[in-house]
């Protein structure tokens, strides 16, 4: 494997935000208090879009919500979420882009700020073995405690987690001839800036401006 292909998940490989949609799913199915949860979830989503989100505060909110449910119940809820929300949102263009890199023999990974409970089944559905995501603490029985292990996988944290993962598998970033990172968000500029081939994918306005100024390619995966 001479090349590396990293992918953000939400609004990059998916045309939706899986974390936000998971919250909406909890509201819709009556698993959480609809008014209180939706108000907080919407506020965090607006902060994310504005680039002002405190990732630890958000993750503690999201993981605290998960900690209310026994693991078996959570897993059953997630299977329903996959059927109703995620699988219909996975488009052929995203699968084709991933397959292009697999066919080239690239090492493929998803790196996302969304927690591993929400995203691990999505990565599996997309056929991606390697997932770098926020890690929820679990107790001995596999139930989530509501706490985050380590630092968030967002902004500069994506850089730290990517380097740590590559060190664990014995393939430092510099060992790859070409390294790609596909992302939609200006929050990912730190990681986009250290790969050899950054691709602004379905970019928000801030990333589109930054990418254009640096001559990075823009990929509109879902409407080209």
The question of whether 54 is a catalytic residue gets the answer no
Chain-centroid distance of CA 1 in Å reads 23
At 197, phi and psi to the nearest 5?
Answer: -135, 80
Chain-centroid distance of CA 50 in Å reads 17
> Who's near 195: CB < 8 A, 6+ residues apart?
4, 6, 173, 179, 180, 181
SS3 for 55? helix
Listed residue (190, 118, 129) closest to 158, CA to CA: 190
Catalytic residue among 8, 17, 19, 184: 8
Query: Rounded distance, CA 191 to CA 118, Å?
Result: 22
Q: Could you tell me the two tokens for 1?
A: 């494997």
Q: Could you tell me the two tokens for 80?
A: 């329903």
Asked whether 180 and 195 are in contact (CB, 8 A), the reply is yes
Listed residue (77, 95, 83) closest to 29, CA to CA: 77
The question of whether 8 is a catalytic residue gets the answer yes
User: Length of the chain in residues, anyone?
Assistant: 224
Reported in sequence order, the residue ranges of 41-170 that DSSP labels E, i.e. its strands, are 107-115, 130-138, 144-149
What residues are annotated to the active site? 8, 10
């Amino acid at each position: 494997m001479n090349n590396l292909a990293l992918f953000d998940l939400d609004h990059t490989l998916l045309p939706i935000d899986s974390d936000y949609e998971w919250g909406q799913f909890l509201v819709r199915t009556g698993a959480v208090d609809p008014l209180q949860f939706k108000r907080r979830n919407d506020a965090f989503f607006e902060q994310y879009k504005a680039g002002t989100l405190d990732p630890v505060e958000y993750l503690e909110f999201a993981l605290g919500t998960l900690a209310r449910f026994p693991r078996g119940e959570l897993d059953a809820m997630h299977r329903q979420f996959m059927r109703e929300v995620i699988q219909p949102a996975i488009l052929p263009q995203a699968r084709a882009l991933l397959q292009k890199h697999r066919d080239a023999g690239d090492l493929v990974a998803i790196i996302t700020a969304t927690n591993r409970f929400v995203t691990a089944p999505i990565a599996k559905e997309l056929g991606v073995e390697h997932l770098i995501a926020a890690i929820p603490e679990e107790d001995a029985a596999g139930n989530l405690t509501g706490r985050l292990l380590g630092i968030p996988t967002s902004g500069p944290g994506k850089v730290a987690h990517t380097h740590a993962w590559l060190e664990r598998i014995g393939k430092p970033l510099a060992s790859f001839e070409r390294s790609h990172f596909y992302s939609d968000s200006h929050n990912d500029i730190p990681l986009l800036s250290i790969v050899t081939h950054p691709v602004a994918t379905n970019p928000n306005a801030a990333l589109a401006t930054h990418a254009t100024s640096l001559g990075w390619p823009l990929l509109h995966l879902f409407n080209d």
